[in-house]
Amino acid sequence: MNIIKEGKIDIWSWCVELEADCINQALNVANYLPVFKHVCLMPDAHLGYGLPIGGVVALRGAISPNMVGVDIGCGMGAVKTGLKKISTEQIKRIMKDIRSGIPLGFYKHKKDKSPPTSILPEYDEKMEVVYSQRKVLSSQVGTLGGGNHFIEIQKGSDGHIWFMVHSGSRNLGFKVAKHYNLIAEELDFGKIPQNISLSYLPVDTDVARKYVAEMEYCLKFAALNRSVMKDRIMEFFADATGCDFLEDVDIHHNYASFETHFGEDVVVHRKGATSARSGEIGIIPGSQGTPSYIVSGKGNPDSFMSCSHGAGRRLGRRKAVKTLNLKEEIDNLDKKGIIHSIRSKNNLDEAPSAYKDIDVVMDEQKDLVDIVTRLMPIAVIKE
3-state secondary structure the chain: CEEECCCCCCEEECCCCCCHHHHHHHHHHHHHCCECCCEEEEEEEEEEECEEEEEEEEECCEECHHHHCCCCCCEEEEEEECCCCCCHHHHHHHHHHHHHHCCCCCCCCCHHHCCCHHHCCCCCCCCHHHHHCCCCHHHHCCCCCCCCCEEEEEEECCCCEEEEEEECCHHHHHHHHHHHHHHHHHHCHHHCCHHHCCCCEECCCHHHHHHHHHHHHHHHHHHHHHHHHHHHHHHHHHHHHCCCEEEEEEEECEEEEEEEECCEEEEEEEECEEECCCCCEEEECCCCCCCEEEEEECCCHHHCCEEECCCCECCCHHHHHHHCCHHHHHHHHHHCCCECCCCCHHHHHHCHHHECCHHHHHHCCCCCEEEEEEEEEEEEECC
**pLDDT in the model for residue 100:** 94
Angstrom distance (rounded) from CA 378 to CA 153: 5
Q: Fill in the amino acid letter for 194.
A: Q
Residues 129 and 169 sit within 8 Å (Cβ to Cβ): no
Domains of the chain: 2-314+355-381 (3.90.1860.10)
Residues 63 and 201 sit within 8 Å (Cβ to Cβ): yes
In this structure, what is the dihedral angle of CA atoms 152, 157, 160, 165, given to the nearest 10 degrees? -20
Q: Answer yes or no: pTM beyond 0.75.
A: yes
Task: Mention every residue, 6+ apart, whose C-beta is less than 8 A from residue 252.
Answer: 73, 74, 75, 76, 168, 219, 222, 223
Angstrom distance (rounded) from CA 304 to CA 285: 21
**pLDDT in the model for residue 114:** 84
Task: Mention every residue, 6+ apart, whose C-beta is less than 8 A from residue 163.
Answer: 78, 79, 81, 151, 152, 153, 154, 230, 233, 237
Q: What is the pLDDT along the chain (383 residues), one digit of tens a residue?
A: 899 999 999 999 999 889 999 999 999 999 999 999 999 999 999 999 999 999 999 999 999 999 999 999 999 999 999 999 999 999 999 999 999 999 999 889 987 778 888 899 999 999 999 999 999 999 999 999 998 999 999 999 999 999 999 999 999 999 999 999 999 999 999 999 989 999 999 999 999 999 999 999 999 999 999 999 999 999 999 999 999 999 999 999 999 999 999 999 999 999 999 999 999 999 999 999 999 999 999 999 999 999 999 999 999 999 999 999 999 999 999 999 999 999 999 999 999 999 999 999 999 999 999 999 999 999 999 98
Among candidate residues 46, 166, 253, 309, the one labeled active-site is: 309
Long-range contacts of 17-23 (CB under 8 A, 24+ apart): 18/45, 19/46, 19/47, 21/47, 22/46, 22/47, 22/52
**CA of 22: how far to CAs of 19, 61, 241, in Å?**
5, 25, 46
Is 309 designated active site?
yes
Phi, psi of 247 (to 5 degrees): -155, 145
